[in-house]
């Protein structure tokens, strides 16, 4: 049975992430002047869906690399998503952000990675990546699918906590949702 196995994999990962840690991250995001988000490939898609929902919740949020994204500055925060923690563009952006004195939240499976080293704090997601490194969780799914799924659920949990902290109702969020679709 495939679906129960996938659910079990996701549960194994998520049960290792403390909800208090997510609450801390929600508070940190709420404190930030503006939020910048980066990730490549499917990690980038998870990052973009997080950015979209944070926008619905009232945050000022930008995706790094998009045409209308401004320069990052004091009081701003970067969320950098990389399962491996080694993707060059993500690591470089985290290092540059750190050198500018801004907070970096690294989201990765690997607390020993270059991304973790360039982060102020990390959200450690103990899932599998495309590299299938020795100490990674075993998965039946290809590449970084387990990481992507877990990150998406963790980001949605943070969004829910953020909405409670900022008292944003579904009605408020819906009012910010695109009316050009
Ligand atoms: O798109 C991806 C690939 O399909 C693996 O699932 C990755 O997200 C992309 O290659 C970026 O890798 P990481 O930075 O290690 O997440």
Complex confidence, ipTM: 0.97
In the three-class reduction of DSSP (H, G, I as helix; E, B as strand; rest coil), residue 176 is classed as: helix
Whether residue 129 has its Cβ less than 6 Å from ligand 1:
yes
- Ligand 1 atom, smallest distance to 108 CA: 16
What domains does the chain contain, in order, with CATH numbers? 2-166 (3.40.50.10490)
- CB 65, CB 97: distance < 8 Å: no
In the three-class reduction of DSSP (H, G, I as helix; E, B as strand; rest coil), residue 44 is classed as: helix
Report the alpha-carbon distance of residue 73 to residue 16 in Å, rounded.
33
CA of 40 to the centre of ligand 1 (A): 6
Whether residue 38 has its Cβ less than 6 Å from ligand 1:
no
Token readout for 145 is 């699918």
pLDDT tens by residue, the chain, 181 residues: 999 999 999 999 999 999 999 999 999 999 999 999 999 999 999 999 999 999 999 999 999 999 999 999 999 999 999 999 999 999 999 999 999 999 999 999 999 999 999 999 999 999 999 999 988 999 999 999 999 999 999 999 999 999 999 999 999 999 999 999 9
Token readout for 24 is 């801390």
Whether residue 40 has its Cβ less than 6 Å from ligand 1:
yes
Global pTM?
Answer: 0.97
Whether residue 90 has its Cβ less than 6 Å from ligand 1:
yes
């Amino acid at each position: 049975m495939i679906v129960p196995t996938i659910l079990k994999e996701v549960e194994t990962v998520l049960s290792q992430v403390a909800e208090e840690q997510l609450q801390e991250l929600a508070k940190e995001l709420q404190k930030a002047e503006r939020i910048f988000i980066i990730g490549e490939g499917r990690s980038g898609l998870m990052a973009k869906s997080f950015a979209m929902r944070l926008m619905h919740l009232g945050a000022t949020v930008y995706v790094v690399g998009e045409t209308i994204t401004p320069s990052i500055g004091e009081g701003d925060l970067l969320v950098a998503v990389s399962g491996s923690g080694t993707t060059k563009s993500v690591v470089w952006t985290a290092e540059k952000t750190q050198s500018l004195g801004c907070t970096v939240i690294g989201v990765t499976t690997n607390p020993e990675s270059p991304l973790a080293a360039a982060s102020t704090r990390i959200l450690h997601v103990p899932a599998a990546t495309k590299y299938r490194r020795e100490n990674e969780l075993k998965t039946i799914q290809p590449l970084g699918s387990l990481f992507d799924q877990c990150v998406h659920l963790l980001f949605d949990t943070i969004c829910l906590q953020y909405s409670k902290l900022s008292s944003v109702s579904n009605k408020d969020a819906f009012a910010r949702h695109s009316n050009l679709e």
